[in-house]
Chains A and B, each alone.
Chain A
Amino acid sequence: MHMTKILGTAMALALIPLAGASAADKVTMIMNWTADSAHLGFAVAQQSGYYADEGLEVELQEGRGSSVAAQLVATGQADVGYADAGATLNVASQGAPVKIISTIWKSGQFGIQYLTSSGISEPKDLAGKKLAVAPGTAMVPLVPVFLKANGIEESDVEIVSAAQNAVLGLLTSGAIDAVAETPENTVVPLKAQGIEAGNMYFYNNGVPLVSLSLIAREDKLQENPDLYKRFLNATLKGWADAMKDPGAAVDALLKTFPETENTKDTLMQGAVYSFASACPGGSGDAIGVTDAATWDTVYQVMTTAMDFSSDKPITDYYSNDYLPAEPFLCP
Chain B
Amino acid sequence: MIRRVLEPLLWFAGLLLIWEIGVRAFAVPAFLLPAPSNFLARVVEDAPRLFHHGLITTRLILMGFVAGAVPGILLGYLIARFRWAERLLYPLVVFIQGLPKITLAPLMLVWFGFGDFPKVLLTSLITFFPILVDSVAGFKAIDPRQYYLCRSAGASWWQTFRLFELPSAAPHIFSGFRITIVIAVTVVIVVEWLNSTNGLGYIVLRAMDSHDTALIFAVLTVASTIGVLLTYGVGLLEGLMLPWQRLRAVKD
Contact = CB atoms under 8 A, between A and B. Distances in A.
Interface of A: 1, 3, 6-7, 10-11, 33-34, 36, 62, 64-65, 67-68, 71-72, 75, 77, 165, 168-169, 172, 188-189, 192-193, 259-263, 266
A245 B121 CA distance: 45
A259 B206 contact: yes
Nearest to B202: A259
Contacts of A71: 106, 110
Contacts of A193: 29-31
Contacts of B112: 6, 10
Nearest to B117: A6
B111 A34 contact: no
Contacts of B29: 168-169, 172, 193
B111 A36 contact: no
B252 interface: no
B111 A68 contact: no
Q: How large is the interface on B (under 10, 10 to 19, 20 to 34, 35 or more residues)?
A: 20 to 34
Given A65-B106, A193-B29, A261 B207 contact: yes
Contacts of B206: 34, 259-261
A262 B195 contact: no
Contacts of A67: 106
B7 interface: no
B237 to A, nearest CB: 29
Contacts, number: 63
Interface majority SS (helix, strand, loop, mixed), chain B = helix
> Max chain A CB contacts within 10 Å: which of B29, B111, B210?
B111
Given A33-B209, A261-B207, A3 B121 contact: yes
20 contacts: A3-B111, A10-B111, A33-B209, A34-B206, A62-B197, A64-B109, A65-B106, A68-B106, A68-B110, A77-B110, A77-B113, A165-B208, A169-B29, A193-B30, A193-B31, A260-B206, A260-B210, A261-B207, A261-B209, A262-B210
B249 to A, nearest CB: 40
Nearest to A35: B209
A263 B208 contact: no
Nearest to A169: B32
Given A64-B106, A68-B106, A168-B31, A36 B194 contact: no
Given A75-B110, A261-B215, 8 more contacts: A6-B112, A7-B111, A36-B209, A64-B106, A68-B106, A68-B110, A261-B206, A262-B210
B74 interface: no
A277 to B, nearest CB: 18
A189 B211 contact: yes
Nearest to B49: A259
Interface string B82-112: 0000000000000010000000101011111
Interface of B: 29-32, 96, 104, 106, 108-113, 121, 194-195, 197, 205-212, 215
B31 A189 contact: yes
A165 B205 CA distance: 12
- Give 7 nearest A-B pairs by CB, closest first: A261-B210, A261-B206, A71-B110, A189-B211, A169-B32, A10-B111, A262-B210
A266 B109 contact: no
Nearest to A172: B29
B211 to A, nearest CB: 4
Contacts of A165: 208
Contacts of B209: 33-34, 36, 260-262
Contact of A168 (B32, B195, B197, B205): B32
B75 to A, nearest CB: 13
Nearest to A62: B197
Nearest to A260: B206
Contacts of B96: 1
B31 A169 contact: yes
A64 B215 contact: no
A98 to B, nearest CB: 13
A81 B224 CA distance: 36
A1 B158 CA distance: 30
B210 A68 contact: no
A12 B202 CA distance: 29
Contacts of B211: 188-189, 192
A172 B26 CA distance: 13
A198 B115 CA distance: 42
A64 B194 contact: yes
A71 B29 CA distance: 38
